[in-house]
Structure 1
Amino acid sequence: MEITKKTVLVTGGGSGIGYATAKLLSEKGNKVIITGRDAQKLEKAANELGVNYIVGDVTSTESVNGLVAKLESEYGDLSVLINNAGVGFVYKLGEGANAFDKARQEFETNYFAPVRLTEALLPLLKKQPEAGIVNITSNVAFHPLVVLPTYSDAKTALHSHSVSLRLTLSSDTNIKVFEVMPSLINTDATKDMGGEQHGLPPEVAAEEIYNGIIKDQYEIFVGEAGRQHADYFNDPKAAISKFNQGLY
């Protein structure tokens, strides 16, 4: 899929992978719009990147409706949606973990939000000669990490949804569905996970996303995720044990 001179929406574009991806795609000659909840942070990022921005909360029905209406009226050539916004809690399951409330927040942002926004934007994407949906999941989408238990659940759900959506849209549309599965990336959101010490720069993820899209690589692995994926399908029990070594 060509990704130049296209109009691209990046959710959670104010920092991390979203920021780095918006920067790279803008440099490649695309018109980029970033969206997020923090108006001040978003405006600062947009000014730094020289891109457009729309303040919005992808977990809010009212906000999403407003975002879609603005895109339809001002960006009618939107052809790429990158569902990047995410949230995760580092904890372990067990008594007093408050897993339900944590899971609800994680599913609202990591699963329900991209499902809703994608469906709402399908009519606009279908109008384009070529379009793409990019869902950012994780290496925990194919095997769980015990210190990110319900985050793993949400990313697994988005992985499954991405597969179903890809197959469905391939039958009668020009919309391609990509899934990006990064290993640990150094972002503000991964500080509690050791991202500063062990994570890859978000620019690495952005490069892999861009290269994967232009190669029609529908499952894009970043960092150790490719090897971890191969290990899992070779020996699931051993791979999960290795992935969670020393954590339980």
Structure 2
Amino acid sequence: MPRALARADQAPGASDLLTIGQVLARLKPEFPDLSNSKLRFLEERQLVTPVRTESGYRKFSPADVERLRFILGLQRDHYLPLKVIRGHLDDLDAGRPLSLPANAAPASMLTGGRRYSRDELLSETGATPALLDDAIGSSLVPAAEHYGDEAHRMLQALVELKKSGIEPRHLRALRAAAERELGLIENAVAPAVRRRDSAGRARAAELAREIASHLETVRGGLIRSALGRIDG
């Protein structure tokens, strides 16, 4: 199993159990948008199962906290819907090999992701300063003092594409297409967003991830179909 991600059925001692407030205190530095409602939403989806005291209060074990960190990391770094994340958790609980997304870095999912300075990002990806500047100018990588795993993956891909003569400026149409997809998603989840309660926003965010996953499937299918013409 990945580091520190224990099975949910491993019984902790009573002194190890945490209140929902303590869980938030531990995880909010990594996931600032985390809220009581989001934790309850994940519990409703049976992705984490805290124990209940006789008074009805939730108590979370260390294993629960690591499961939450794993779930939230997959959502934040890879935009995976909960249906997909549930499959990864089932694999972990059953002791099966973890089948992560192809572009995933397992350590980052469990630790909240690495942060890179500009020099570190260039050094680790092999990109030139000019390529990073072009990526920023083409809105493929956000301008920032520090960069996350998504920027690292994007720049790595751009380095490889450049070897085939594909520059960031050639990919502006992809950026525009992504913005159009975002518009579709925003329109679809608008009714849930308008509810304005935390639970409604959590459900809207999950629906958005599910729609994005389906759009990714459609996009991938179209590209594979086009590649078939080249192969033929």
TM-score (norm 1): 0.24
Structure with greater strand share of residues? 1
Who wins on radius of gyration, i.e. which is larger? 2
Q: Could you state the TM-score of these two structures normalised by the residue count of structure 2?
A: 0.26
